[in-house]
Amino acid sequence: MCCLNYINATVPRLSSRQQELPQAKSAEAIALRRKTSTAFPFLEYAAAFILEHADDSAAEGISQHEFVINFPRRSWIHVNNLFEKHQIRRYTDAAPLMYIYADRGLPSLVHVAVQQGLPISSPDERYSCSITAALQRDNLRVVKAFLSAENDHPQLEDRLRSLFKPRRLPRGDPSVQVLSSLLKNCRVDIVRALLEARVLDVNTTFVSAFPIHHSLLTYAIENKSLGCVKMLLDYGADVNTPLFGNYLSPLYRATEGRDLQIINWLIDAGADVNHLNSDPSPSFDETPLEVAITHGNQAIIEVLLAAGADVELTYGSEPKYPLLDAVRKEREIPVELLLSAGANPNGVVTNNDSREAIRQELPLHAAILRDNSKIVGLLLKHGADPNAMYPKEYKSIPHFEYSDPKLEPNDKVAKHSPLYIAMACCGNEVLSCLVDAGATLNPYDSSNPMQVQSLVFYAFMEDRIEFIKWLLQADISGFRHKALSPLHSAIIDNEIGDVESILRLIGDLTSTVGNEKWFLALDDSTWGSPLAHAARLGRTDIVKALMQHGAGVNDPSPAKTNPPLAAAIDGVCVPETLELLVESGAQVGLTLGIWNSLFSKLPDAHGADRPLIEKVLTKARVSEPIHALLISAISDCMVQCRQELIKLLVNKGADIHGVDSFGRTCLHWAALVGDVWTTGLLLGLGARQDVRDKLGNTALLLAYRGVSDDEESDHNQANIISLLLEHGADTSVENRLGHRCLDLVPSGAETCRRLLSEATTSAADRVYYGFVDDI
């Protein structure tokens, strides 16, 4: 009574009573609490413990009915809110006593309030209901007080029965937060009380966070609430009913969480270890065994296998095979466990409906593609076929980008043996495993060389010199024509000793094929012959070795790629390589690209390297019409070597009046690009100025068209225009668009305009151009 009397005597004297309280954590609230405590030192204690004292008294049998009836609810709420440091814990002025008792954990007062029929609902409070407040505050005694008194209150029974109904709670339902909190915090006692009172169904489901659906059991498993899991199983929770279509079974969740104890409980309760959990995305179809394989947990895999997990086939929208899954993830222990449990290393994934084999790699293929010698050894030890063909396309195999690009797509669907794949993907350990297990060295019908490539081919191509000794007895007639030579791969990265080793081995094997030069002439559509390949990379030592073995420096290329000398110039352009090829009689077709490469790539094109360039050009042959090359030289060639090429072509008899696809001659282009030297040379050789291109332009019109506003362009084009005018150019011509010279000149090009004024003698033309000041 002391606390009650103190509150009744103090509250009327509080200055804050007539105004709204500030926010709990604000400076004003802190100051107000300090001021009130100084004026009334006992007030905070009285407000905090008055209800607790009354609850204790009621528990001892002292009636609190009068206390509850006469309790100054609004005064107490004001004092409590004043001293409350957290805004969310404050009550509204209308908060009912039943809610306050439940929120503060006062079971005896709750019982009194129930007997008096006080309101249960409190929609404006934090938990909106007295029962929900008790559950959220994890107060077992208050929860039991409500459950034991459900028949004593007109609203209580309905409220309790509707709390967790329907059985499948939608997202956003207040009860979802209650359940998730109880299960996450493992409040076994409260959940048990709800189950025993039949307020909660053991198989209730809810959506915790869209789109994650849960049952009580799966949520407890996810949060590793062992006590709740065991209790729910004891009360008969369904261990096999999936949620969200076919997704998230309890055993799946437990396996994903890697909790061995829960997995054992679920299996003992009858969980289906082969249940397929399917996400809306078909690629996510998994069994618990596959989840355990992903995590590589030996103990869990052993438990699932002991419980009857299927090691052979699992069916879904995309069928899977546990052993293949373990091999792809390179889980060595799971692979061994599955094989020991009877998994077939040669099993083929099938379709559940038609039972037809699906085009799928075998476990051995997957292990080889990952160069995992330990798993390869395990599979072979348990009976994997070392000659089982790989059914997928070339592009599915790493490093197998050497198939002929000219083949039709259907032709590329070729099968490969394990040894064939290992040649491109693996180290010596895998190769040794396969050979020791009996992998055949001649797996293909060599009568169809356009479809398959022999093991020897890839042994050369992948630089497996140490492996070729196993293949000397193999049929090498399966080498592919019009495909990459065995030498190309070795030339890219290896030392001359390796290349010479390959060449010696080729010499030892030519009796099967017939002619060593056939190997040396094999052509790749990108790099050319092996000799051209080495020349492009500037490997002078390899070029020399290939020539010593008979590679021809001017042999025709089947794929019409660059011959060796052209490849050397177009590639790294090493002077020593060029010198060796030229001295050996190599020739090159003279093109603008070759010309530019020589002058741009050689370190001293106008000094020390000049004699080498002259040697190359002496034997150069023009591979296109000379006048077309001359026009290209004028329009596109680099300035520093343009004049030399023009002289060379003129001396070789180029027709200076020949035209290109625009109908333009060499003089047209020289005038347009502003080449004064070439313009003078061509005029000196008698180039005609009356030739018009397809738009009716003469060289003079194009010279004016090439003028821009800047002073340098004006001066340069003026020199060309002067040359043309000196050789009789007609200033009165116009093209098919009706443009004359001055129509094409910018107003700022004063020099060019002056030249035109001086050259125009016709009175009519001077009027046309506006030169009327001196008429």
Q: Where are the alpha helices (DSSP H) in 514-637?
A: 516-521, 530-536, 540-548, 564-570, 575-583, 592-601, 610-618, 626-636
Instruction: Report how far Cα 400 is from the mean position of its chain's Cα atoms.
Output: 22
Reply yes or no on whether the pLDDT at 519 is more than 60: no
Q: What is the pLDDT of residue 375?
A: 92
Task: Provide the pLDDT confidence category of residue 502 given band limits of 50, 70 and 90.
Answer: low
What are the tens digits of pLDDT across the range 432-455?
A: 788 788 877 654 434 334 333 455
Count CA atoms within 13 Å of residue 661 on its CB side: 1
Reply yes or no on whether the pLDDT at 625 is more than 90: no
More confidently predicted of 386 and 403: 386
How many whole angstroms separate alpha carbon 529 and alpha carbon 531? Answer: 5
- Contact predicate 56/91, CB 8 Å: no
Q: What's the average model confidence in pLDDT over 362-375?
A: 88
The pair of structure tokens assigned to 96 is: 């009912």
Q: What is the pLDDT of residue 348?
A: 63
Which of 218-227, 473-482, 497-506, 743-752 tops mean pLDDT? 218-227
Contacts 24+ apart (CB under 8 A), 61-65: 64/108, 64/109, 64/112, 65/112, 65/115, 65/116
Q: CA torsion, points 634, 639, 644, 646, in degrees to nearest 10?
A: 0
Residue type, 485: S
pTM above 0.75, yes or no: no
How many other CB atoms are found less than 10 A from the CB of residue 166?
11
| Phi, psi (rounded to 5 degrees) for 355 | 60, 20
What are the tens digits of pLDDT across the range 339-361?
A: 888 888 887 654 444 434 444 67
Task: Provide the pLDDT confidence category of residue 618 given band limits of 50, 70 and 90.
Answer: low
How many whole angstroms separate alpha carbon 494 and alpha carbon 488? Answer: 10
In sequence order, which residues have a C-beta less than 8 Å from that of residue 140 and are 6 or more positions away? 187, 189, 190, 193
Q: What's the average model confidence in pLDDT over 285-296?
A: 83
More confidently predicted of 161 and 719: 719
Architecture of domain 360-483: Alpha Horseshoe (1.25)
Domain boundaries, the chain: 360-483, 690-775
* Span between the terminal Cα atoms of the chain, in Å: 128
More confidently predicted of 237 and 537: 237
Judged by DSSP in three states, 264 sits in helix
Q: What's the average model confidence in pLDDT over 253-259?
A: 85
Q: What is the pLDDT of residue 555?
A: 64
Judged by DSSP in three states, 121 sits in strand
Q: Give Cα separations from 68 to 89, 92, 121, 309 (angstroms).
A: 22, 19, 18, 63
Which residues are paired to 416 by β-bridges? Answer: 390
Which residues are paired to 205 by β-bridges? Answer: 168, 215
More confidently predicted of 271 and 9: 271
Reply yes or no on whether the pLDDT at 737 is more than 60: yes
Q: What is the pLDDT of residue 702?
A: 79
Q: What's the average model confidence in pLDDT over 452-478?
A: 48
Q: What's the average model confidence in pLDDT over 602-631?
A: 62
Sign of CA dihedral 361, 362, 368, 371: positive
How many whole angstroms separate alpha carbon 120 and alpha carbon 138? Answer: 18
What are the tens digits of pLDDT across the range 126-151?
A: 877 877 777 778 778 877 777 777 66
Q: What is the pLDDT of residue 380?
A: 92
Q: Domain 690-775: what homologous superfamily? A: Ankyrin repeat-containing domain (1.25.40.20)
How many whole angstroms separate alpha carbon 646 and alpha carbon 639? Answer: 11
How many whole angstroms separate alpha carbon 535 and alpha carbon 574? Answer: 9
Q: What's the average model confidence in pLDDT over 478-492?
A: 43
DSSP assignment of 184-229:
HTT-HHHHHHHHHTTSS-TT-EEEEETTEEEEHHHHHHHTT-HHHH
The pair of structure tokens assigned to 563 is: 């011959």
The pair of structure tokens assigned to 400 is: 């197998």
Residues in the chain, total: 775
In sequence order, which residues have a C-beta less than 8 Å from that of residue 242 and are 6 or more positions away? 248, 249, 275, 277
Task: Provide the pLDDT confidence category of residue 394 given band limits of 50, 70 and 90.
Answer: very low
Angle formed by the axes of helices 676-684 and 666-673, nearest 10°: 150
Reply yes or no on whether the pLDDT at 653 is more than 80: no
Q: What's the average model confidence in pLDDT over 303-331?
A: 78
Q: What is the pLDDT of residue 516?
A: 40
Mean pLDDT of the chain: 72
Same fold, 360-483 and 690-775: yes
Task: Provide the pLDDT confidence category of residue 590 given band limits of 50, 70 and 90.
Answer: low
What percent of the chain is predicted at pLDDT more than 70?
64
Q: What's the average model confidence in pLDDT over 35-40?
A: 86
| Phi, psi (rounded to 5 degrees) for 524 | -105, 140
How many whole angstroms separate alpha carbon 205 and alpha carbon 176? Answer: 9
Q: What is the pLDDT of residue 481?
A: 33
